[in-house]
Amino acid sequence: MVTHVSGSDSYVLFELAGATYALRSDDIQQLEMPGAPTPVPNAPPFVDGVVSVRGQVIPAVNLRARFGFPRVEPDVRSRLVVIRGGGRTVGLLVDGAREFADIPPDAVKPLPEGIGGLSGRYLRGIAHRGDRLLLVVDVQQLLAIDVPHAEASPTDVSPVPLPAAPAST
């Protein structure tokens, strides 16, 4: 983890559906312009397909769909945030990412009461930066969450794991 002299941890801030999220810099391999993903049969609904990033084929997760927001077409501000966690490398399609911030560990507060379920599982907490709220993402939980298959009935919940990137040769 990148910890600065001030005792703060380094984060990359990204925008998604009008909110600002924070990912630890250590979890991010790179930021890329998003290319057109190649669809993959039977992928979870939030996986747009696979993309090739510097010779490695990785799943492209539409973070809007993953978080339950409406999808939008990528534009010039959109970014593919390539993250690594839990032995997986995944690209997260976000609305924009171009800001860095140092956040002291004690500035990340627990989620308020009532934010539970899936939402609470992928967020580590909330931090303030000036008058902005930053939703701090927990990469390990984000990559570990299973979702019900889209065709499953409410009584038949079969988990569909997030696909792992193929092993590079």
Q: What is the pLDDT of residue 121?
A: 77
Write the pLDDT tens digit of every residue in 68-94.
Answer: 899 999 999 999 999 998 788 999 999
What pLDDT, in 10s, does the model give residues 14-66?
Answer: 999 999 999 999 999 999 999 899 999 999 999 999 999 999 999 999 999 98
Query: How high is the pLDDT of residue 5?
Result: 46
pLDDT tens per residue, range 110-145? 888 777 665 567 889 999 988 899 999 998 888 875
What is the structure's pLDDT at 150?
36
Class of domain 9-143: mainly beta
Exposure b/e, 74-112, CB count within 10 A at least 16 = b: beeebbbbbbbbeebbbbbbbbebeeebbbeeebbeeee
pTM, full prediction: 0.79
